């Protein structure tokens, strides 16, 4: 089966190369049948990549430890679910998963659009297959998950070697979210290749109209959603598995997923301006290219050895090839943009700074500034070591100082944008639009100050949250009022039909609502408390308003790990609240340790307890009180819901008028 897997990868590579040649030949000769054969070859390459992943799955489930990737990442006692996730638990298998999703999304894009965009499709196939061929070549020749183990005999020859058992999956990855987090995150990184392919094809063929823009927008939106879900799942995993008390630590690999998400957010806003007004065309091409390259940069960072991270794989020999490929793509895209400036030139300019177009543009600039700040802070230690021979660390304090003001500015623009009209907003309309959101913001500010809030950042953030929330409510209320007035509909029906007729617009407002709620969750970080407790059985300790009493300490063994577990009774204001059982595990393979957090979560705050070890006769407990974390997860759910709504087909946006 390992040979079949390698053959499938080789077949997929040959088919993708044929698809490139056939598409280019068909275009140059004007032969429709030749370009059609290129499309069929691309779909066949997708099928071959699927077979390769199926082969590795079979080897995992069959405990075929003659295969190096299986031996290094699985074991006989590993639960079935984790045997499946062990496919991407190591470097080689994760590359195969990348190839699988690249082929799958490429095939889906071709099938979905092959009859709608005939002039563009040969070029779309070329871009998609160049991308696929690059990753297939890396997977096949430099990072093959089907390589077999061998041993060196005394006479220097090699012979097959089959260990009795495998090393098992990294204990940190044995958590439910890590079964789905990497695939979703990979889809988020990889999916940006489809908007990039259609953008390049549109430039080459000088496509007019907005049909290709809509394809780019919808694929970007779906990819952006998947990347966002992946980031949130990664934060949840960090929160409950790593045991350091938080969900985001500005880790380099965390940052590598955030940067393309921020640039993708900018693209989703600016592409609305291109659809509606025919503006920002060159800017959007640059953003599409950046999101695609930053997705590749994300996987480059985990495989290059450039940064140290709990999320990264060991140093591999792939790093320089990623750099060559990214340089090739960037140079090609920039040359094409330079050659197509007359095609990309907009016939319109901003009519007024007080317009929705200008709000979107400012929003873009701020998002790109945030992405650049995170990108620079992530790479700066490596760059300083390369240039000066000394690695200068960049910690969370740097990222917080830069990104908190940027985040507050973005929050303000989230509320301001919908209050401005297209083209130009008159002073009278501006006053009407801002009246009630401004009043609500002032009332919120007064309430915060009266309640004793003196933290400047928190006060500004919550005031802006109230402002944006009032803006969203006003937009829904105004639209529903029009339907009630003209159609005589009751409020619930008017609101439901309003959203149903334009899910893209009102789904966007729900996304903004999710962002507001998430910012409320972020505010809680300003009030985190923690305490280190050393407790013997029967003793108590306090953190915040909570009292923790150590009831018992238990030790035991499971199939693949030994554990120590503390039982803690928790009271608040002398009233029983809950029992928590934080645990520390030591795994058989390599003696690695993990933590299982004791967590009591409410909308107000989380009690987060970690058992860190034994100190003499006492159990050492690290206890945290993390306010408002619930609202981060809840707001994330609202954001996902709103994004799904925007994907529902609604009325077609107006073509840009020249």
534 and 417, same domain (yes or no): no
Lowest mean pLDDT among 119-128, 156-165, 393-402: 156-165
Given a cut of 70, is residue 658 above it in pLDDT?
no
CB 92 within 8 A of CB 70: no
Given a cut of 50, is residue 229 above it in pLDDT?
yes
83 and 132, same domain (yes or no): yes
480 and 423, same domain (yes or no): yes
CA dihedral 519, 523, 525, 529 (to 10 degrees): -140
pLDDT in tens, 385-402: 777 777 777 788 889 999
pLDDT for residue 586: 86
The answer to the question of residue 349 being in a domain is no
454 and 485, same domain (yes or no): yes
The answer to the question of residue 78 being in a domain is yes
547 and 459, same domain (yes or no): no
**Helix (H) / strand (E) containing 621:** strand 618-627
578 and 447, same domain (yes or no): no
Tell which of 169, 190, 208 closes a domain: 169
- Mean pLDDT for the stretch of residues 216-222: 93
**Domain carrying residue 3:** 1-169
The answer to the question of residue 341 being in a domain is no
CB 208 within 8 A of CB 113: no
148 and 34, same domain (yes or no): yes
pLDDT in tens, 13-44: 999 999 999 999 999 988 899 999 999 999 99
Which range scores top for mean pLDDT: 75-89, 214-228, 416-430? 214-228
Q: What angle do CA 2, 131, 269 make, to 5 degrees?
A: 130
Given a cut of 70, is residue 304 above it in pLDDT?
no
CA pair distance 177, 122, nearest whole angstrom:
39
CA pair distance 389, 383, nearest whole angstrom:
9
- Mean pLDDT for the stretch of residues 301-309: 66
Q: How far is CA 12 from CA 98, 113, 252, 538, in A?
A: 14, 21, 33, 64
Residue 652: pLDDT band with limits 50, 70, 90: very low
503's CB contacts (< 8 A; 6+ apart) are 645, 646, 648, 650
At residue 605, the 3 state secondary structure works out as strand
The answer to the question of residue 346 being in a domain is no
- What is the chain's mean pLDDT, rounded? 89
Instruction: DSSP letter for 242, please.
Output: I
The answer to the question of residue 327 being in a domain is no
Tell me how many domains the chain contains: 3
Q: What angle separates helix 356-388 from helix 252-277, to the nearest 10 degrees? A: 150
The answer to the question of residue 330 being in a domain is no
Lowest mean pLDDT among 46-50, 571-575, 579-583, 648-652: 648-652
CA pair distance 357, 349, nearest whole angstrom:
10
- State residue 585 phi and psi, 5-degree precision: -115, 140
Given a cut of 80, is residue 657 above it in pLDDT?
no
520 and 455, same domain (yes or no): yes
Q: What angle separates helix 176-190 from helix 281-303, to the nearest 10 degrees? A: 140
Q: How far is CA 249 from CA 238, 254, 309, 395, in A?
A: 9, 8, 11, 9
514 and 558, same domain (yes or no): no
pLDDT in tens, 177-191: 778 888 999 999 999
Tell which of 169, 195, 211 closes a domain: 169
CA pair distance 390, 377, nearest whole angstrom:
16
Dig out the tokens for 439 from the structure: 């009043």
pLDDT in tens, 535-568: 999 999 999 899 999 999 999 988 778 899 999 9
416 and 539, same domain (yes or no): no
- Mean pLDDT for the stretch of residues 473-494: 87
Alpha helices in 30-175 (DSSP H): 32-61, 68-73, 80-85, 91-113, 121-141
569 and 444, same domain (yes or no): no
449 and 573, same domain (yes or no): no
Of 122, 104, 267, 102, give the one whose Cα is nearest residue 198. Answer: 122
- Mean pLDDT for the stretch of residues 261-284: 90
**Helix (H) / strand (E) containing 555:** strand 546-557
The answer to the question of residue 567 being in a domain is yes
Tell which of 117, 148, 169 closes a domain: 169
The answer to the question of residue 10 being in a domain is yes
């Amino acid at each position: 089966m390992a040979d079949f897997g390698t053959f499938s990868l080789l077949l997929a590579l040959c088919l993708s190369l044929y698809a490139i040649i056939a598409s280019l030949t068909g275009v140059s000769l004007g032969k429709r049948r030749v370009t059609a054969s290129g499309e069929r070859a691309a779909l066949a390459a997708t099928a071959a990549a699927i077979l390769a992943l199926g082969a590795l799955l079979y080897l995992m489930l069959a405990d075929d430890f003659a295969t190096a990737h299986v031996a290094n990442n699985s074991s006989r006692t590993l639960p079935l679910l984790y045997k499946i996730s062990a496919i991407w638990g190591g470097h080689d298998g994760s590359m195969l998963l990348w190839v699988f999703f690249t082929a799958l999304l490429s095939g889906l894009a071709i099938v979905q659009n092959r009859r709608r965009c005939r002039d563009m499709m040969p070029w779309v196939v070329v871009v998609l297959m160049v991308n696929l061929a690059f990753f297939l070549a890396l997977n096949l020749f430099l990072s093959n998950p089907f390589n077999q183990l061998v041993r060196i005999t005394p006479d220097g020859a090699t012979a097959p070697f089959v260990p009795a058992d495998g090393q098992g999956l990294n204990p940190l990855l044995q958590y439910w979210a890590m079964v789905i987090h990497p695939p979703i995150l990979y889809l988020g990184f990889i999916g940006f290749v489809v908007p990039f392919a259609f953008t390049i094809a549109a430039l080459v063929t000088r496509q007019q109209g907005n049909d290709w823009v809509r394809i780019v927008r919808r694929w970007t939106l779906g990819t952006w959603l998947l990347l966002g879900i992946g980031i949130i799942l990664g934060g949840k995993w960090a929160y409950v598995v790593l045991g350091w008390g938080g969900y985001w630590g500005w880790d380099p690999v965390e940052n590598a997923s955030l940067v393309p998400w921020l640039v993708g957010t900018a693209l989703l806003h600016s592409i609305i301006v291109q659809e509606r007004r025919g503006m920002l065309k060159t800017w959007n091409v640059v953003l599409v290219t950046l999101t695609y390259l930053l997705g590749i940069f994300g996987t480059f960072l985990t495989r290059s050895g450039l940064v140290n991270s709990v999320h990264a794989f060991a140093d591999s020999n792939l790093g320089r090839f990623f750099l060559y490929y990214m340089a090739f793509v960037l140079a090609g895209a920039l040359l094409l943009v330079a050659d197509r400036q007359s095609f990309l030139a907009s016939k319109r300019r901003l009519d007024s700074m007080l317009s929705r177009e200008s709000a979107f543009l400012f929003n873009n600039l701020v998002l790109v500034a945030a992405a650049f700040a995170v990108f620079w802070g992530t790479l700066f230690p490596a760059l300083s070591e390369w240039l000066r021979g000394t690695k200068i660390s960049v910690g969370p304090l740097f990222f917080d100082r830069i990104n908190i003001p940027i985040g507050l500015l973005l929050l303000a623009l989230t509320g301001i944008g919908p209050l401005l009209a297209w083209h130009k907003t008159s002073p009278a309309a501006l006053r009407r639009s801002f009246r009630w959101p401004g009043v609500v913001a002032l009332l919120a500010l007064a309430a915060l100050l009266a309640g004793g809030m003196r933290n400047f950042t928190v006060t500004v953030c919550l005031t802006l949250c109230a402002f944006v929330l009032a803006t969203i409510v006003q937009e829904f209320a105004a639209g529903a009022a029009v339907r009630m007035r003209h159609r005589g509909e009751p409020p619930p029906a008017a609101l439901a039909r309003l959203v149903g007729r334009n899910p893209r617009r009102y789904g966007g407002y729900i996304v903004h609502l999710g962002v507001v709620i998430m910012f409320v969750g972020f505010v809680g970080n300003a009030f985190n408390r923690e305490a280190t407790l050393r407790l013997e059985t029967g003793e108590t300790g306090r953190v915040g308003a909570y009292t923790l009493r150590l009831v018992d300490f238990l030790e035991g063994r499971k199939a693949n790990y030994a554990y120590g577990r503390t039982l803690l009774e928790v009271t608040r204001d002398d009233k029983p609240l809950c029992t928590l059982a934080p645990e520390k595990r030591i795994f058989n393979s390599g003696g690695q340790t993990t933590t299982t957090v004791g967590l009591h979560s409410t909308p107000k705050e989380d009690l987060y307890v970690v058992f860190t070890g034994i100190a003499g006769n006492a159990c050492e407990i690290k206890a945290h009180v993390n306010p408002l974390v619930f609202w981060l997860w809840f707001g994330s759910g609202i954001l996902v819901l709103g994004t799904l709504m925007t994907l529902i087909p609604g009325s077609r946006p107006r073509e840009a008028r020249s």
